[in-house]
């Protein structure tokens, strides 16, 4: 039975409220185990309290970053260990979300906060969205994510070109022509040696987006990501696939995201239908991929993997791509572990 007035009980209940306030689950049975751990370990050692809380209250690995922030603020600002046990104190939690573009217009009428017994957790809106599934975004969150995506700049490992550029690094290829030309200014004496090295350029990025029915909750946000990639980076090719493959690179080149998506909508005819991924990859390989844009590229598939076609066809086409692409990346928005 819990000691309702013990310091361990007070700390456990207060921290559980904080976790619930930032969206993490803290069921009663876990809190009871946390209290027992604190009774055994004591409350003086921060590391002991942290791991007691983590081992009893964190059930998903992806919750750890939010848990860590909540615990750090809680430990620094919350209850003192040796509080009076005469009357339990009330601890409130305030969650502030930073927004660079908006200010609270109700500050003048807002009630003052008792700083002594209030724990304030401040999270940026981007950090909040980062922990949330695309499919769970409301319209306002989706618009904010879209604005963030417009600032994305995708890089990736460079590709060495056959073209050579000037180099200051000794050990690179000797630039005989430039060395000889410079020697003419010194009666043919090669006073200084010049060097060349291979130049680099971005590898082509090829992105295929699954727009079948099972991917419908994610399609809009991922299309915005593809638009940001096309307008923010050179050498990007974009395709959608469901029952057929559609190239949408040209439609996404408009810097106006709404216009780009409207143009894409008119070009694509198989929204929210079935998936024939293997056949679509075969079309890509035969018409664009193997002899062209896939060679040496970074190839990204945005799909949950649900395919109504022949799995052997899919395996064969993926192997064909793997032989020519520099790197293949499969992003499954439904994968949780």
Residue-wise pLDDT tens digits, 114-136: 444 444 444 444 444 455 555 56
**Alpha carbon distance 329, 229 (integer Å):** 15
pLDDT reported for residue 248: 94
Whole-number pLDDT of residue 247: 94
Query: Which residue has better confidence, 117 or 240?
Result: 240
Is 237 in contact with 293 (CB distance < 8 Å)?
yes
Q: State pTM to two decimals.
A: 0.52
**Arithmetic mean of pLDDT over the chain:** 75
Q: Which position has the higher pLDDT, 74 or 194?
A: 74
With a cut of 50, say whether residue 32 has pLDDT above it.
yes
pLDDT confidence band for 221 (50 / 70 / 90): confident
Q: What is the pLDDT of residue 286?
A: 92
Contact yes or no for 274/306 (Cβ under 8 A): no
DSSP tag of 172:
S
Q: Does domain 205-331 have CATH number 3.50.50.60?
A: no
* Domains of the chain by residue range: 7-131, 159-201, 205-331
CA distance 270 to 250: 18
| Alpha-carbon distances of 250 from 8, 190, 201, 244, 296, rounded to whole Å | 62, 51, 22, 18, 22
């Amino acid at each position: 039975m819990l000691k309702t007035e013990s310091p361990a009980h007070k700390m456990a209940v207060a921290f559980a409220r904080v976790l619930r306030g930032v969206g993490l689950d803290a069921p009663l049975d876990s809190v009871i185990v946390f209290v027992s751990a604190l009774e055994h370990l004591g409350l003086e050692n921060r590391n002991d309290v942290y791991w007691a809380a983590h081992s009893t209250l964190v059930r998903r690995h992806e919750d750890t970053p939010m848990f860590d922030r909540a615990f750090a603020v809680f430990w620094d600002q919350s209850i003192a260990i040796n509080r009076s046990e005469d009357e339990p104190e009330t601890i409130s939690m305030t969650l502030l979300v930073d927004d660079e573009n908006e200010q609270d217009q109700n500050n003048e009428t807002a009630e003052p906060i008792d700083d002594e017994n209030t724990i304030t957790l401040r999270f940026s809106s981007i950090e909040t969205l980062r922990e949330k599934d695309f499919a769970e975004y409301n319209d306002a969150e989706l618009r904010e994510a879209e604005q963030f995506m417009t600032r994305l700049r995708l890089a990736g490992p460079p590709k060495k070109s056959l073209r050579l550029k000037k180099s200051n690094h000794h050990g690179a290829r000797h630039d005989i022509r430039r060395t000889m030309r410079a020697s003419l200014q010194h009666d043919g004496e090669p006073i200084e040696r010049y060097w060349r090295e291979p130049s680099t350029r971005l590898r082509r990025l090829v992105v295929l987006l699954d727009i079948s029915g099972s991917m419908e909750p994610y399609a809009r946000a991922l299309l915005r990501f593809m638009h940001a990639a096309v307008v923010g980076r050179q050498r990007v090719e974009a395709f959608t696939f469901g029952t057929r493959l559609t190239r949408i690179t040209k439609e996404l080149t408009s810097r106006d995201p709404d216009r780009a998506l409207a143009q894409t909508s008119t070009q694509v005819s198989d929204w929210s239908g079935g998936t024939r991924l293997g056949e679509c990859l075969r079309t890509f390989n035969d018409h664009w991929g193997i002899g062209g844009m896939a060679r040496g590229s970074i190839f990204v598939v945005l799909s949950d993997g649900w395919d109504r076609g022949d799995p052997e066809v899919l395996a064969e086409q993926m192997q064909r791509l793997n032989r020519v692409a520099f790197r293949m990346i499969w992003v499954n928005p439904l994968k949780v572990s």
